[in-house]
Amino acid sequence: MKNIFDYKGKQVLVLGLAKSGYTAAKLLHRLGAEVTVNDMASLDQDPHAAELKSMGVHIVDGGHPDYLIHENLYTIVKNPGIPYTNPLIASAMDKKVPVITEVELASQISEAEFIGITGSNGKTTTTMMLGEMMKGSEYEAIVAGNIGTVLSEVVQDATNNNIIVTELSSFQLLGTKDFSPHVAIILNLFEAHLDYHGTLQEYGRAKAKITANQKENDILIYNADNFHVVELIRDSKATKIPFSAAASTKKGAYIEMGAIYYKGEKIVHVDDMAMPGAHNAENALAAIAAAKVYNVSTGFLQKVLKTFSGVPHRLEFIKEKDGRLFYNDSKATNILATTKALAAFRQPTILLAGGLDRGGSFDALIPALDRVKSVVAFGETREKIKAAAEQAGVKTIKIADNVDEAVQQAYGLSDTGDVILLSPACASWDQYKSFEQRGDMFIKRVHML
């Protein structure tokens, strides 16, 4: 950890506790800042808030009082999920007070190099896959970021012998100023999180910050098949390495005759990969390109690709029961993710889908339902999912109250050889605290059958 003095004696506001706020507050205190933590919720019973208070951190909870923004405030470190329309954020920006996320804070003290991974879909799988691949490099890889391990915690003990493989959301990237990974990966860009960003252009602008500060000696790995990504990276100063599932791009990673290649060298046959689906082959292309930057051997990459079976809640195989194969894809929180999950299977599939209603339609899901045997819809969007399934000509459609009931109904509709797939195409917050909780409910119910 670099010893910096930027925050010593400065007043800093951490907006939103959660995991990232707690870690950022502790780090800022360690750096000598006068820290205030503010959260809308009551923190009276929160053990992290109690710990911070005992350290001398000021806690303000139960609202966002205006007095927290003042002329002596040095900066705000905000929770990524808090929108810029929040009154305190808006007031701070009016007063030219810098607003950052803890990713920026982490980068200021890190001795280790970063590999940053972003995109609308596939971030977690690619991050975890690349983390495994980097075990074949000369560096000790640490996987962190949006994947669950807070970056500003990891960097405190990291050295220049480490590489931090970092999943980055648009929310996190939007709050960066000088952050610059040595290797940046942009997997894809589709309409998502428009309730936060407003437009696809603004969403893309947030994603593009991953390469905004890169120089010629840095590397940008990008999806050459995605028009929005190609436009997004046009002005990047980094050395660019493309990947493509559609064309033989000899300057990077590509698929040809059913096999993955990197700059003309065959790496592995797609059918030999442990993870099913064309989208996972695309994720592998990006990960391979990054691993090759660090001279990971082809033999080691083959070993990883043939054994890496994925991450929890992302097309995760749960078990086989009575000839039925159960897969948990609870992390599929948008239509594109569910479309890719359905494309991964040749078997008759029973789809469990539904969740938070953001107001959009499910017309884009209809073409992907052509080989779906049955649909069990649940959550706020159940009627919309049902309507899309009807339009797609799905013969059997059922409505369930929740995931627990949906599993039971799906099992009753299934036959030997079927895939029963939870891939909701929606966020979980109508009924569950997180997609993890939703996926855990699915797994628990499957094991109870």
**pLDDT tens, position by position, 319-335:** 999 999 999 999 999 99
Are residues 262 and 115 part of one domain? Answer: yes
| Known binding positions | 119-125
Chain-wide mean pLDDT for the chain? 94
Asked whether residue 183 falls in the same domain as residue 285, the answer is: yes
- Contact between residue 21 and residue 44 where contact means Cβ atoms under 8 Å apart: no
* 429 vs 133: CA distance, rounded Å: 33
Q: Which pLDDT score is estimated for 371?
A: 83
Q: Is residue 58 part of a domain?
A: yes
Alpha carbon distance 239, 295 (integer Å): 16
Q: Are residues 296 and 226 in the same domain?
A: yes
The whole-angstrom separation of Cα 361 and Cα 381 is 9
pLDDT tens per residue across span 223-250: 999 999 999 999 999 999 999 999 998 8
How far apart (Å, rounded) are the C-alpha atoms in residues 120 and 331?
Answer: 12
Two tokens at 264? 């003309």
185: enclosing H helix or E strand: strand 183-186
Residue 293 shares a structural domain with residue 162: yes
Closest listed residue to residue 14, CA positions, set 97, 83, 75, 56: 75
Predicted local distance difference test score (pLDDT) of residue 315: 87
Is residue 22 domain-resident?
yes
Q: Is residue 1 part of a domain?
A: no
∠ CA 407-411-416, nearest 5°, is 145
In the structure, what pLDDT confidence band is assigned to residue 196 with cuts at 50, 70 and 90? low
Q: Are residues 54 and 193 in the same domain?
A: no
**284: CATH:** 3.40.1190.10
The one-letter code for the residue type at 403 is: V
Residues 332 and 254 reside in one and the same domain: no
The span from the CA of 388 to the CA of 367, in Å, is 10
Identify the CATH number of the domain in which residue 343 sits. Answer: 3.90.190.20
Last residue of a domain, one of 82, 100, 118: 100
Q: Residue 202's pLDDT is what?
A: 87
Give the 3-state secondary structure of residue 253: strand
Mean pLDDT of 383-392: 97
pLDDT of 439 over the 90 cut: yes
Of 347, 343, 261, 338, give the one whose Cα is nearest residue 305.
Answer: 261
CA dist., res. 393 & res. 420, Å (int): 19
Are 56 and 135 members of one domain? no
Shared-domain flag, residues 328 and 240: no
Higher pLDDT, 338 or 196: 338
In which domain, by residue range, is 391 found?
A: 316-448
Q: What's residue 409's pLDDT? A: 98
Residue 311 has pLDDT above 90, yes or no: no
Mean pLDDT of 300-310: 93
Q: Which residue has the tokens 């009276």?
A: 44
| Average confidence (pLDDT) over 384-393 | 97
- Do residue 297 and residue 402 come from a single domain? no
The verdict on 42 and 167 lying in the same domain is no
Q: 108 is written with which tokens?
A: 């200021």
Q: Order of strands, edge to edge, in the sheet holding 11-15?
A: 58-61, 34-39, 11-15, 73-78, 99-100
The answer to whether residue 68 is domain-embedded is yes
- Do 268 and 339 fall into the same domain? no
pLDDT value for 417: 94
The pLDDT value recorded for residue 147 is 79
Total structural domains within the chain? 3
Domain termination residue (choose one: 100, 121, 146): 100
Run of H or E including 397: strand 396-399
Binding residue ranges for ATP: 119-125
Tokens 């991953």 identify what position? 210
CA–CA separation, 422 and 314 (whole Å) = 10
Q: What is the pLDDT of residues 110-125, one digit of tens each?
A: 999 999 999 988 898 9
For residues 13 and 24, the answer to whether their CB atoms sit within 8 Å is no
Q: Which two tokens stand for residue 127?
A: 């991050």
How many helices and strands (H and E) does the chain possess?
16, 20
Q: What percent of the chain has pLDDT over 90?
A: 84
Residue 203 has pLDDT above 90, yes or no: no
Determine the pLDDT at residue 240: 98
How does pLDDT run across 397-429, given as a tens digit for each residue? 999 999 999 999 999 999 999 999 999 999 999
Q: How many C-beta atoms lie closer than 10 Å to residue 364's C-beta?
A: 17
Q: What is the pLDDT of residue 137?
A: 97
4 inside domain? no
| pLDDT score recorded for residue 436 | 94
Structure tokens at 412: 């009753």
We report the CATH number of the domain holding residue 43 as: 3.40.50.720
Look at residue 388 in the predicted model and tell me its pLDDT: 97
* Residue 197's pLDDT band (cuts 50, 70, 90): low
What's the pLDDT score for residue 191? 65
| Within a domain: 158 | yes
Residue 6 forms part of a structural domain: no
Supply the pLDDT for residue 277: 82
Asked whether residue 73 is domain-assigned, the answer is: yes
Query: Which of 289, 307, 325 represents a domain boundary (last residue)?
Result: 307
Residues 272 and 288 in one domain: yes
